[in-house]
Amino acid sequence: MSQTPLSYKDAGVDIVAGDALVERIKPLAKKTMRDGVLAGIGGFGALFEVPKRYKEPVLVSGTDGVGTKLKLAFEWHMHDTVGIDLVAMSVNDVLVQGAEPLFFLDYFACGKLDVDTAAAVVGGIAKGCELSGCALIGGETAEMPGMYPAGEYDLAGFAVGAVEKSKILTGQNVQAGDVVLGLASSGVHSNGFSLVRKCIERAGNNTPATLDGKPFKQALMEPTRIYVLNVLAALAAHPTNSESSSGIKALAHITGGGLLENIPRVLPEGLAAHLQKGSWPQTELFAWLQQTAGIDDTEMNRTFNNGIGMVVVVAAADAQACAQTLRAAGEQVHVIGQIAPQGSGAQVVVA
């Protein structure tokens, strides 16, 4: 007895849909092209030549996802900005070493490919690449029947940047008396959403209509701010100088673990960051989260960015000029503290 032939589509993988997605991605990726791209989307591997202006280039890489923020994207059908989040999480990390992001690759995995949804996500990824000046030169779309619930997908991103070996930011020149600047976040960014979702669940139908002048859902889904271009400009204007102990000395991307766990990653042993409570405003969004969760300030600063998405440690003599440079570029800058000897206390103190 003969059996009906089975195609790949019968098994749940639609090659035609995959091809259609690639065609929709190509013009989006083309907008992100920059010097150095030799071959982008379409080949088995993307080719990139390190710009010749680098004398001793060191490559800096980063990878991340979007986390459970995706669960809200699925529930609220808001897919057009999570791609920006994906790019931001990696390029902001690469930036911390003083590196310029060069190119980005993405991985999109789902159970059944919806071309419109995937195109919206990749459109956000391309936008994030434009905002950070890096090229979207490759990626992978994996349609895997049975691996994901209907309507859900997962994302991973990979960024590669370059920095002159002599200009790598290590934080080793940070010293007592240096000033800590905080660059405002655009919202929750992409960390802490397991608690955010619990807060939404607890609030039920009593969620506020707006937060910080935005509709509730938009306020929570606001994409992660990309600090790359403005901070690179500030690094060029206020370079670190170990001999004169001047300029920008360290950067910290405030992601999972918040202010309390990310700032110590760039501080030398024996030094602490003393942050002044109230030196930056608490937005309605974070006030609502804190009130709804019923948690104290310490837990807020350990879970969320709490309003500060990037920290800049700069020599005291350069702090005012550096803040002016960043403000002129469009950043909201707050002087939030200074570096001091650690003693027997924690490496980050908020008081």
Last residue of a domain, one of 116, 143, 167: 167
Do residues 109 and 148 lie in contact, with contact meaning Cβ atoms separated by under 8 Å?
A: yes
In a domain, 173, yes or no: no
Low-confidence ranges of the chain (pLDDT < 50): none
- Paired tokens of 48: 């990139």
pTM: 0.93
Phi, psi of 216, rounded to the nearest 5 degrees: -50, -50
- In a shared domain, residues 120 and 210: no
Q: Is 34 exposed, middle or buried (0-12, 13-18, 19+ CB in 10 A)?
A: middle
Which residues does residue 338 pair with via DSSP β-bridges, in sequence order? 179, 274
82-95 helix and 69-76 helix, angle to the nearest 10 degrees: 160
In a domain, 301, yes or no: yes
- In a shared domain, residues 102 and 34: yes
Q: How far apart are CA 121 and CA 6, in angstroms?
A: 31
- In a shared domain, residues 231 and 326: yes
- In a shared domain, residues 194 and 152: no
Beta carbons within 8 Å of 332's beta carbon, 6+ residues apart: 183, 184
- In a shared domain, residues 78 and 205: no
- In a shared domain, residues 223 and 345: yes
Q: How far apart are CA 65 and CA 67, in angstroms?
A: 6
- % of the chain exceeding 70 in pLDDT: 97
- In a shared domain, residues 122 and 238: no
User: Parallel, antiparallel, or unpaired: how do β-strands 248-253 and 308-314 relate?
Assistant: antiparallel
The per-residue pLDDT for 212 is 96
- In a shared domain, residues 223 and 141: no
In a domain, 72, yes or no: yes
The per-residue pLDDT for 86 is 98
The per-residue pLDDT for 11 is 61
- Paired tokens of 6: 């089975």
The residue range of the domain holding 130 is 15-167
In a domain, 172, yes or no: no
- In a shared domain, residues 225 and 284: yes
- In a shared domain, residues 344 and 295: yes
In a domain, 5, yes or no: no
Beta carbons within 8 Å of 338's beta carbon, 6+ residues apart: 177, 178, 179, 180, 273, 274, 316
- Paired tokens of 290: 């804190």
Domain count, the chain: 2
List the CATH number of the domain containing 78: 3.30.1330.10
Residue 109, CB-side half-sphere exposure with 13 Å CA sphere? 13
Last residue of a domain, one of 167, 190, 221: 167
List the CATH number of the domain containing 312: 3.90.650.10
In a domain, 2, yes or no: no
User: Parallel, antiparallel, or unpaired: how do β-strands 100-110 and 135-143 relate?
Assistant: parallel
In a domain, 313, yes or no: yes
Q: How far apart are CA 255 and CA 258, in angstroms?
A: 6
Q: How far apart are CA 162 and CA 164, in angstroms?
A: 7
The per-residue pLDDT for 208 is 96
- In a shared domain, residues 130 and 188: no
Last residue of a domain, one of 143, 167, 191: 167
- In a shared domain, residues 83 and 104: yes
